[in-house]
Structure 1
Amino acid sequence: MNFQIRPLLLITSITILSLTQTANANRIGIKMPSEPKLISAPTACKSLDDWNEPTHARRIYGNTWYVGTCGISVVLIATPNGHVLIDSAPQKASEAVRQNILSLGVKLSDIKTILITHEHHDHMGGLASMQAATEAKVLSRSNIVDVLKSGKNDRRDPQFDELSGFDPVANVHAFEDAGTIAIGDKKIQHLPMAGHAPGGSGWTWQECEKSVCKNLVFADSLGSISDATYRYSAPDSLANALRESSQRVAKTACDILITGHGTASDLLARLDGAKPLADTQACVNYAQTGMLRLEERLKKEMVK
């Protein structure tokens, strides 16, 4: 299947004009992050699959920081015009995520925008409490605005029978798919990634260190996982959407891959220097793995 990526649209712009980013940051009181005191500490996770187990914050690249748990990625993108948070981890991990953010020397109120990868409680169960703590605007794909506001998933979701609900989220605003979120000079492109969930979203942006710039991609899950009822082989399933999502990620400029479950990309090992941080083939390999698992899933369904 050939898939044409739609042209970028400037949908949401949160821009405060200034002579320089530094002057602007001082004027509106936004503090940029600094290295946490425990930057040299090991990950020390008992399990990299534990959604709630705390681990310390660390820099990913440039002004992008990992503030999640041992098992769930949460990312802070710092800008002088207000910080952006992607995902929030489960509600039980909310305090650990907030402490990670504070360990960088920034205020929770410096977070002005919250984005998500998809509407499952392991990735955004703490979204309501994070929104309340930051008073940030939550941006959402239009097809899941009602889900976020209600705290209830619907039957479109492949895991509907197994999902836990979450606290309803306030201050949710829809944006158009494949748009660009602009925060001052920072451009964060949306990658529609339905398949694992109806509202699946990837995000890509650029960070630089000493004039060396890299493309970061926070890709949504490409897992064809479901409850006992759902069939990816059904005519109205998300199988085609999952294929298109895989193709889209594979075509995206990608130097540093971030995944919601870090084990899918050895994320913490790469952040701790045990493996190379950058890999220009990471998104291609991630997409291929997702496609293979989908085809295996479809074959099993046909046998049944």
Structure 2
Amino acid sequence: MLSALVFAATLSAEEARWNAPVAPFRIADNLYYVGTADLAAYLVVDPEGMILLDGGLPQSAPLILDSIRQLGFDPKRVRFLINSQAHYDHAGGLAELKRATRARLLASAPDAELLERGGSGDFAFGDTLTYPPVKVDSLTKDGARLTLGRIRMTAHVTPGHTRGCTSWTLQVRVDERMRNALFICGASAPGYRLRDNPAYPWIMDDFRRSFAKWRSLDCEVFLGAHASYFGMTEKRARMAPGRPNPFLDKEGCAAFLDKSEARIEAQHARESPAPR
């Protein structure tokens, strides 16, 4: 594993903005933000151990580990690593995080294949956005529950952004009530072909099913793979004792899904049919 300083020199300007360090903080109850400025990573804590969702870029791994320590937790108490999507900006740090924590990595079957190839052979990006390969210890299926102590997280396979894109739900206490947190894996198609795509012929069917599934889930605490999805910076600035938790945002979640779906449908409509 190269040092963080060597990795930093390889980042593009956009990636450097994504990966800028931010202080970790408690979202609610036993749920913490340990990601970077735009590459979200979450820590769920229980006396029996911890679950870490997502690993950012390869360069993010030391920042995530440092954030866990800043909160007063030992990274070696992470029992499970889970992933929202097998893209380099969310899975790139998993190999180092797995080495440092010795946690078990869980992923959906389609994304597990991509994780173990280090992102090579991606249906959209080919071999251009690769990262350190990481071994998946167990496959998770749609509706599967991950239990650790009192933690109950449920996997929802919502493909399109990747073939095995996995959103997660978690019951968490917010403002003295149990609420449903939804971690949306990815709702965009950056540079993808959505019509007549030989590498992923059913991509639009998957996207449409995924939007229907997201809407079927009770999104009370709105979270996602990028901090910009849910306005993390602005919401964090509004957090204060005695005030409502700004991460309770059903309306923002619904608006995000509406806008994201409209962009996908518009992108599909703009594409010409592939030549026959």
1:168 to 121, 124, 133: 133
2:105 to 124, 138, 142: 138
209 and 290 in structure 1: CA distance in 2 versus 1, 3 angstrom threshold: closer
- Tell me the equivalent position of 2:188: 223
Q: Report the Cα offset of residue 98 of structure 1.
A: 0.9
Q: TM-score, normalised by structure 2?
A: 0.85
How many pairs were matched up? 254
The residue type paired with residue 86 of structure 1 is L
Distance in 1, matches of 2:215 and 2:128, equals: 29
Tell me whether 206-215 or 91-100 shows the greater mean CA deviation: 206-215
Distance in 2, matches of 1:49 and 1:205, equals: 30
- Tell me the equivalent position of 1:68: 35
Distance in 1, matches of 2:69 and 2:248, equals: 27
Q: What secondary structure does 1:50 align onto?
A: helix
Q: What secondary structure does 2:160 align onto?
A: coil
Q: Report the Cα offset of residue 185 of structure 1.
A: 2.4
1:276 to 225, 246, 263: 246
Matched, 1:117 2:87: no
Q: Report the Cα offset of residue 72 of structure 1.
A: 0.7
Q: Report the Cα offset of residue 60 of structure 1.
A: 0.7
Q: What secondary structure does 2:135 align onto?
A: coil
The residue type paired with residue 107 of structure 1 is D
Structure 1 residues 222-242: Cα deviation after superposition (integer angstroms, max 9, x where no partner): 00222xxx5201161411111
- Tell me the equivalent position of 1:106: 73
Percent identity reads 22
Matched, 1:292 2:254: no
Q: What secondary structure does 2:37 align onto?
A: coil
Distance in 2, matches of 1:218 and 1:172, equals: 22
Distance in 2, matches of 1:153 and 1:179, equals: 27
Please, which runs of 5 or more residues in structure 2 have no aligned partner?
1-12, 240-244
Q: What secondary structure does 2:17 align onto?
A: coil
Matched, 1:246 2:211: yes
- Tell me the equivalent position of 2:21: 54
More helix by share: 2
Q: Which has the higher contact order (CA 8 A, sep 6+)?
A: 1
- Tell me the equivalent position of 2:225: 260
Q: TM-score, normalised by structure 1?
A: 0.78
Q: Is the 8 A contact 2:87 2:119 kept in 1?
A: no
The residue type paired with residue 203 of structure 2 is L
- Tell me the equivalent position of 2:46: 79
Q: What RMSD, in angstroms, separates the aligned Cα atoms of the two structures?
A: 2.2
User: Where do residues 28-43 of structure 1 align in structure 2 (5 Å cutoff)?
Assistant: none
